[in-house]
Structure formats: C-alpha cells, structure tokens
Amino acid sequence: MADLKRRIARRVARELHDGDVVNLGIGLPTMVADNLPEGVSIILQSENGIMGMGGAPEKIDVDVVNAGAQYVSIKPGGQFFDSATSFAIIRGGHVDATILGALEVDKHGNLSNWIVPGKMVPGMGGAMDLVVGARKVIVAMMHTQKGKHKILNECRLPYTAVNCVDLIITEMGVIRVTEDGLVLEELHPDYSLEDIKAATECELLISPDLKPMLD
C-alpha cells in the first residue's frame, strides 16, 4: 500500500513547477513534497496561516503546526499570518495547485471529501475554499476503497464543491476531467484497460494518445 501511495505522490509531483504555491491536503498528498523532480522547489501554503512551510521538524515547536495539526518546520523566508490573510490568498487565486484526497469524485468533476453522514470525520478544513480558489485541483487517491468504487457517475456523499476537479491521479492511472467526461490519459503497466474500467463506476473515455504511467 505504501509503495502504491508513493507511486501516486511521484506522479502528482510531476504536475508541479518550480516556484509554484501549493497546498497539500492531509494524508497521501503530504507525500508529494518529498517526491518532487530534481530542480523543482515549491512553496507550501497551509490554510491556518503559513507560507513557506517545510517538512517534519528536527526539533518540535508545539506552536508550529499545519492545518492538519501536524508539527512542521518553516523554511528560511517563511511567513506566518492570520487565517483571514490566508484565505484571502486562497480566494484571490494565488495558490497554483491544491492536492487533496477524496471520498468520492464523479464524471462531472464534482468532489465529496469532507463528511460521511453519521460518522466522525475531521471536517472540511479549508477544502471548500481551496477547490474553488486554486488554479488547479488534483485529486490524489487510491482508485477504490476496499474494492468499492470511488470514481462514480454521481457523488453520493455531500459535495465539497461541484465541477472543481481538473485531474485525478491514482495507482492505476491519470484521468483528466473534461466537458465530455473522464478521459484516461495514462495507464500504469500493472493494469489493463479492463482492470481500470472495472474499478471505475462511470465510463472512461480513452485518450487516443494513451501513455504508460511511470513509477
């Protein structure tokens, strides 16, 4: 499982450019920062008021945590500010990409990732603002959950936002959201077209330029 998640993180990292301002959701997306291609450095933003966030600290400062309450470090030149300023940055379109997981995503690019009715979950955090404020929205997740579809015709759980997802990257492939539906652009060699179609509830359109997804 860990190797598959690293595969996803490495592929997501190739979507980022040197100097991009990026917000990483909790869980798998946090792995992206440690899997960037050589020569690419990104500026990590956390919605609780950090710009220039680093990774896990060598020495913990209990007052320095990200939006997921994880202890983090701050890179030289990093800044702290209040939540109002942080969300002004997000809502103002100054975040180049947000990368987050999903409970469900559908063929329209709708996203459900903040609540399962009747269950205790962390809550929405800044997701509702990020997916409509960031210039690019990438969902990074395992393709299924205990064998159940996560890429659907229509989301069944409450929406985080609608028509917001640009790209879905799983261990099986890379799928772009278009007006015509979901287009499979890359397929990992470990899987066949029949495999990924069976793991996806909605129809997948196959790009005429379908490429192998590389580890």
CB 44 within 8 A of CB 24: yes
Structure tokens at 213: 């997804």
Structure tokens at 14: 């190739």
Give the integer Cα–Cα distance in Å for 107 and 163.
Answer: 9
Per-residue buried b or exposed e for 97-128, using 16+ beta carbons within 10 Å of the residue's own CB: bbbbbbbbbbbbbbbbbbbeeeeeeeeebbbb
HSE-up of residue 32 (Cα within 13 Å, Cβ side): 32
The alpha carbon of residue 119 and the mean position of all alpha carbons in its chain are separated, in whole angstroms, by 22
Give the integer Cα–Cα distance in Å for 150 and 104.
Answer: 5
Give the active site residues. Answer: 47
SS3 174: strand
As beta bridge partners, residue 181 has 178
Give the integer Cα–Cα distance in Å for 178 and 66.
Answer: 33
